[in-house]
Amino acid sequence: MSGEHRIPLLSKSRFTAGLQCHKRLYLECYSRELADEVTEQQQAIFDSGTDVGALARDLYPGGVLISEDHFDHEGAVVSTRAALSLATVLPLYEAAFLCDGVRMRADILVPVGDGQFDLVEVKSTSKVKDEHLFDTGIQLYVLRGSGITVRHACLCHLNTDYVYEGGAYRLGRLFRVVDISNECSALQPEIPSLLAEMRLALAGPDPPDVRPGRHCTKPYTCQFYGHCHMNEPEHHVSHLPRARDDLLESLAADGIEDIRDIPPGFPGMNALQRRVRDSVMMNRLYLDSTLKRELQQLNHPIHFLDFETFNPALPLYRGTRPYQVIPFQWSLHTLDEDGILHHREFLHDGNDDPRPAFAESLLTALGDTGPIIVYSSFEAARIGELADALPAFSAGLEALLDGRLEDLLLLVRAHCYHPEFHGSFSIKSVLPALVPHLGYDDLAINDGTLASMAYAEMLHPETSPERRAEIRGNLLAYCERDTLAEVELFRFFTQ
């Protein structure tokens, strides 16, 4: 693979990949077959970003879309030059350029007079992030090198303070366009040396020898994560909960990758991390009696509650904001003093705002008595938000928060550990380790992100009635499994 003539062209995405890790860049250029499969969740994020980007063009209407796809960059460059040579230059969407061996497509390029342009990079995020600066900075580098005079380099992102009033979006409020010209200009002197380092890495016959670390997931999870981590020990030191960088660096300096190789009393470990180390070393469950005692003190009826939500980038309901979390489904198992288990559920399947019907049905189901077991603080946060948004139900919702909620996650984290948790206390990790007969593998929807995506599909006007019915059944089965999981964990801990 050596020889500079064989080094592929870079691009905006490859440049940002190289900033994260030279090995990632190398594999992306030469060994894409090693990449992890794109999950449905990741594809949904990509699709949402595409929708936001398309809508942002309406901030600068009447423009020209450079329609060649990313596999025909040369054709796109030709089309861009033609559009720029017209007597009247219009805004350009996906304008293509090539300079210094770097390809780029500008989301929006806006003529502002006197031969100058504003560069507008669109992100579906809610703020400007550090990684956006180099992302936009490399575009500024290519544009300047291509002879384009850039007046402002801008980052356009969603404004989470915007409250949707119904009807057409008020784009000037939905989006914020932030001038980051100074930050991007300050990066320009660094870019040539960064490009040189990346090309040097790409000139080698083998991928650079980069050890896995925190950079594998920052700022994004690398698409080669599985490949680079496939030979890690089963109980890698990264499974230590809330491990700080200095602890991981100390372990790496001593050549320790496996939790089982950590000597007793290793400095820098907190009580939870020492408990994890001991549980893994002995390969057995750690469970202190406090957990059982806490749960046995609860009075019947005992409720087990779980919510499903979605948070559309573009708000759907009057009075909501971009990315606002909207609960649309709940499941409730109730264990009475005779040991009989009852199940109730709610799933909103209309196109109107689900929150009023959600809140009303929830209050009716929970009544005025009995502790409510949840797994994490998620449900409490949503109940608080509903109380603020729905004055008609606020008193009843606030009463739920007045001492009735019991967070099982906090109890598990404080009093239990099993080697098969692998550092995670999520219910998806805890359940199969402690209650192996109950899991999620048999379900069509088996995590919350998939549930959110499925609900959005169910609402879509082009979804057939048959598909909507299928999704509804899958959503009900998944949410019911979550609360049944809470019941079975409760039984495990109190037996």
Q: What's the pLDDT tens digit per position in 29-52? A: 999 999 999 988 888 888 899 999
Residue 214: predicted pLDDT: 86
Mean pLDDT for 168-176 is 97
Please tell me the predicted confidence (pLDDT) of residue 364: 98
Q: Which residues contact 35 (CB under 8 A, 6 or more apart)?
A: 27, 28, 223, 224, 227
> Which is nearest to 485 in space by CA: 418, 431, 448?
431
Average pLDDT over residues 6-24: 95
Considering only residues 476 and 1, tell me which one the structure prediction assigns the higher pLDDT: 476
- Give the residue, 7 or 391, on which the prediction is more confident: 391
Mean pLDDT of 408-432: 97
In tens, the pLDDT along 328-371 reads 999 999 999 999 999 999 999 999 999 999 999 999 999 999 99
Averaged pLDDT of the chain: 96
What's the CA angle centered on 331, arms 342 and 399, to 5 degrees?
95
pLDDT of 4 > 70? The answer is no
pLDDT surpassing 90 at residue 1: no
pLDDT for the residue numbered 41: 86
Structure tokens at 391: 């004055």
Average pLDDT over residues 311-325: 97
2 pLDDT exceeds 70? Answer: no
pLDDT (tens digit, 9 = 90+) per residue, 262-312?
999 999 999 999 999 999 999 999 999 999 999 999 999 999 999 999 999
Q: What's the whole-number mean pLDDT along residues 391-408?
A: 97
Query: Which pLDDT band, with edges at 50, 70 and 90, does 151 fall under?
Result: very high
* Confidence (pLDDT) at 198: 98
Give the separation between CA 325 and CA 23, rounded to whole angstroms.
Answer: 37
Question: How long, in residues, is the chain?
Answer: 495
DSSP tag of 258: B
User: Residue 6 has what pLDDT?
Assistant: 75
Structure confidence by residue, pLDDT tens digits, 94-120:
999 999 999 999 999 999 999 999 999
State the Cα–Cα distance between residues 266 and 202, nearest whole angstrom.
39
State whether residue 15 is helix, strand or coil: helix
- % of the chain beyond a pLDDT of 70: 99
**Is 150 in contact with 140 (CB distance < 8 Å)?**
yes
**Share of residues in the chain with pLDDT > 90 (%):** 95
What is the per-residue pLDDT for 365?
Answer: 98
Nearest CA to 146 among 225, 236, 81?
Answer: 81
Calculate mean pLDDT across residues 47-66. 96
Question: Is the confidence at residue 5, as pLDDT, over 90?
Answer: no
378 — phi, psi (to 5°)?
A: -60, -50
| pLDDT at position 111 | 98
Mean pLDDT confidence for 442-454 = 95
Query: Could you tell me if 142 and 148 are in contact, meaning their C-beta atoms sit under 8 angstroms apart?
Result: no
Whole-number CA gyration radius for the chain: 27
Asked whether residue 319 carries a pLDDT value surpassing 80, the answer given is yes
